[in-house]
Amino acid sequence: MDGTDIIERPNFCEACAIRNRAICADLDNQEIDLLNKIGRRRQLQVGEQLLWEGDEAVLVANVVEGVLKLSTATADGREQIVGLVYSSDFVGRPFSETTPYGVEALTDATVCVFRRKDFDRFALDHPRLANKLLERTLTELDRSRRWILLLGKLNAEERVASFLIEVGRRLEVDVDQPANLSGRSEFSLPLSRQQIADILGLTIETVSRQFTRFKKDGIIQMPTSRTIIVPDIKALINRAG
pLDDT tens digits, one per residue of 43-68: 999 999 999 999 999 999 999 999 99
Q: Tell the CATH topology of 3-147.
A: Jelly Rolls (2.60.120)
Taking only the tens place, the pLDDT of each residue in 202-221 is: 999 999 999 999 999 999 99
Report domain extents, the chain: 3-147, 154-239
Q: Which of 74, 80, 73, 68 is nearest to 104 (CA)?
A: 68
Q: Decide if pLDDT at 160 tops 70.
A: yes
* Same-fold call for 3-147 versus 154-239: no
One-letter amino acid at 45 equals Q
Taking only the tens place, the pLDDT of each residue in 17-26 is: 787 888 888 8
Q: Decide if pLDDT at 100 tops 50.
A: yes
Q: Tell the CATH topology of 154-239.
A: Arc Repressor Mutant, subunit A (1.10.10)
- 0.85 exceeded by the pTM? no
Cα angle vertex 41, ends 40, 42, to 5°? 115
